[in-house]
A and B are shown apart, each in its own frame.
Chain A
Amino acid sequence: MSTYLPEYHPEQETEATARPLTYRFEPKDYVFRSITRSGGIIVLVVMAMVGIFLASNGISAINEVGLWKFLTTQNWAPESNDFGIAAVLWGTVQIALVALLVAMPLSLGTSLFITEVARGWVQRTLTSLIDLLAAVPSVVFGLWGAYMLQPNIVDFSKWISVWFGWIPMFQVEGVDPASPLRDTVPFTASTFIAGLVVAMMIVPIQTSIMTESFRRAPIGEREGAFALGATRWGMIRTVVLPFGQGGIIGGTMLGLGRALGETIAIYLIISPVFEIKFHILEKGANSIAAMIALKYSESNEFAMSALMAAGFALFIVTMLVNFTASAIIARSRSGAESEG
Chain B
Amino acid sequence: MKMPSEPHTVAMTTLPDEAAGAGVHAGARAGQQSPEQSGTASQQLAVFDPADPFDAGSTFDPEATFDAGLEKRFSLAAQPAAGLEAENISAWFGERKVLDRVSLSMPAGTVTALIGPSGCGKSTFLRILNRMHEMVPSASLAGEVLLDGQDIYDPQQRITAARRNIGMVFQKANPFPAMSIYENTVAGLKLAGLKASRAEKDFLVEDSLRKASLWDEVKDRLHQPGGGLSGGQRQRLCIARSLAVSPRVLLMDEPCSALDPTSTRRVEETIESLRGEVTIVIVTHNMQQAARVSDTCAFFLAAQNTPGVIVEHGDTNAMFSDPRDQRTNDYVNGRFG
Interface residues of chain A, those whose CB is within 8 Å of chain B, are: 116-123, 218, 220-221, 223-235, 238-239, 242-243, 333, 338, 340
Q: How far is the CA of A122 from the CA of B55 in the complex (A)?
A: 10
Asked if B218 is at the interface of the complex by the 8 Å CB criterion, the answer is no
Is A119 a contact of B59 with CB atoms below 8 Å? no
- Chain B residues 82-133 with CB under 8 Å of chain A are 130, 132
Report which B residues bind A (CB closer than 8 A). Answer: 51-56, 58-61, 64-65, 130, 132, 135, 137, 160-161, 163-165, 167-168, 170, 172, 174-179, 187-188, 190-193, 227-231, 234, 238, 241-242, 245
Q: In the assembled complex, which residues on chain A have CB atoms less than 8 Å from the CB atom of B242?
A: 227-228
Please tell me which one of the listed residues B60, B61, B167, B227 contacts residue A228 in the complex, with CB atoms under 8 A apart: B167
Known pairs A223-B168, A228-B188; list 9 more (Cβ under 8 Å). Answer: A116-B56, A119-B54, A220-B174, A223-B132, A224-B174, A228-B245, A230-B163, A234-B190, A238-B176
Residues of A near B245 (CB, < 8 A) are: 228-229
23 examples of A-B residue contacts, CB within 8 angstroms: A117-B54, A119-B52, A120-B53, A122-B53, A218-B174, A220-B172, A223-B174, A226-B163, A229-B161, A229-B165, A230-B59, A231-B192, A232-B60, A233-B60, A234-B191, A238-B187, A239-B176, A242-B176, A243-B178, A338-B227, A340-B177, A340-B227, A340-B231
Q: How far is the CB of A114 from chain B (nearest CB, A)?
A: 11
- Provide the bound-state CA to CA distance between A22 and B148, in Å: 67
The interface residues of chain B lying within 8 Å CB-to-CB of A223 are 132, 135, 168, 170, 174
B192–A227 touching, CB < 8 Å:
no
Chain A residues positioned under 8 Å from B56 (CB to CB)? 116-119
Residues of A within 8 A of B160 (CB): 229-231
Bound CA span A231–B135, Å = 13
Minimal beta-carbon separation of A113 from chain B (angstroms): 9
Q: How far is the CA of A225 from the CA of B175 in the complex (A)?
A: 9
CB distance from A120 to the nearest CB of B (A): 4
Chain A residues, CB < 8 A from B59: 226, 230-232, 235
A224–B191 Cα distance when bound, in Å, is 11
Interchain CA distance A118-B55 in the complex, whole Å: 5
Distance in angstroms from A107 CB to nearest chain B CB is 19
Q: Are B191 and A221 in touch, CB under 8 angstroms?
A: no
CB distance from B126 to the nearest CB of A (A): 11
**B130 CB to closest chain A CB, in angstroms?**
7
Neighbouring A residues of B234 by C-beta, 8 Å: 340
Chain B residues within an 8 Å CB radius of A338: 174, 177, 227
Cβ contact of A231, chosen from B65, B165, B175, B187, cutoff 8 A:
B65
Q: Is the CB of A232 within 8 A of B58?
A: yes
Nearest B-chain residue to A225, judged by Cβ: B191
- B-side contacts of A119, CB under 8 Å: 52-56, 137
| Bound form: Cα–Cα A253–B59 in Å | 33
* Most chain B beta-carbon neighbours within 10 Å: one of A121, A220, A238: A238
Query: Looking at the complex, which one of B53, B61, B191 makes contact with A235 (CB distance below 8 Å)?
Result: B191
CB within 8 A of B170: which of A118, A224, A229, A239? A224
A235 proximity list for chain B (CB < 8 A): 59, 191
Q: Are A340 and B229 in contact, CB atoms less than 8 angstroms apart?
A: yes
- Are A340 and B238 touching (Cβ within 8 A)? no
- What distance in Å separates the Cβ of B259 from its nearest Cβ neighbour in chain A? 13
Residue of B nearest to A235 (CB): B191
| Interface core residue of B165, B178, B238 (most chain A CB under 10 Å) | B178
CB-CB under 8 A from B65, the residues of chain A are: 231
- How far, in whole Å, are A228 and B169 apart by their CA atoms in the complex? 10
Q: How far is the CA of A225 from the CA of B130 in the complex (A)?
A: 13
Q: Which residue of B lies closest to A233 (CB)?
A: B60
- Contact yes or no, A230 B135, CB < 8 A: no
| Distance between Cα atoms of A338 and B241 in the complex (Å) | 17
Q: Which of B54, B132, B174 contacts A118 (CB 8 A)?
A: B54
